């Protein structure tokens, strides 16, 4: 039982790390994308200069706003999954499974974390062990 509890604690720590890494890389990527779409930086005179986006600046701005929302939701879900597993809350297992299915296509880190989470939390034996924690 103590071995399984240590594995769940390690899994929750990795969810926290994944959430932080996802947030930092999302902020950096979206800052660069915002600079490209809005004509800032050294891209000012290139093919993506101001108002040169094929669908207009409003479409680029909408894409950036949607991407910001998705980065915040993905990182927030990872932090909530990590917190729920760390507290060993009954809802933490469900949130971690949902987060695992949502990040399974984020190759390679998201896929590895999703597989590890699903192996640790699914199945009759693991469900009963988690309920005993």
Question: Residue 48's pLDDT band (boundaries 50, 70, 90)?
Answer: low
Query: What are the pLDDT digits (tens) for 58-92?
Result: 677 788 889 999 999 999 999 999 999 999 999 99
- Helix boundaries (H) for 38-123: 57-86, 90-102, 109-121
Residue 81: exposure state from Cβ atoms within 10 A (0-12, 13-18, ≥19): buried
pLDDT greater than 90 at residue 46: no
DSSP state for residue 103 in the 8-state scheme:
S
- Report domain extents, the chain: 2-132
Residue 44: pLDDT over 70: no
Average confidence score pLDDT of the chain: 86
Q: Report the C-alpha gap between 133 and 87 in whole angstroms.
A: 10
Q: Which two tokens mark 18? A: 């994944």
User: What pTM was computed for the model?
Assistant: 0.83
* Segment 46-63 mean pLDDT: 64
- Band (98; pLDDT cuts 50, 70, 90): very high
Q: Out of 17-26, 60-69, 94-103, pick the least confident.
A: 60-69
**Residue 43 clears pLDDT 90, i.e. is over it:** no
Write the burial class of residue 3 (CB in 10 Å: 0-12 exposed, 13-18 middle, 19+ buried): exposed
d(CA 129, CA 133): 7
Task: Report which secondary-structure segment, H or E, holds 32.
Answer: helix 2-37
Residue with tokens 């915002």: 34
């Amino acid at each position: 039982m103590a071995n399984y509890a240590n594995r769940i604690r390690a899994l929750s720590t990795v969810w926290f790390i994944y959430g932080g890494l996802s947030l930092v890389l999302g902020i950096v990527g979206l800052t660069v994308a915002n600079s490209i779409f809005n004509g800032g930086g050294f891209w000012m005179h290139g093919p993506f200069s101001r108002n040169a986006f094929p669908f207009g600046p409003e479409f680029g701005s909408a894409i950036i706003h949607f991407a910001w929302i998705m980065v915040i939701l993905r990182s927030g879900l990872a932090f909530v999954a990590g917190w729920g597993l760390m507290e060993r809350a009954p809802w933490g297992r469900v949130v971690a499974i949902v987060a695992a299915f949502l990040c399974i296509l984020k190759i390679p880190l998201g896929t590895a974390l999703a597989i590890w989470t699903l192996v640790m939390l699914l199945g009759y034996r693991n469900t009963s062990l988690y309920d005993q924690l």
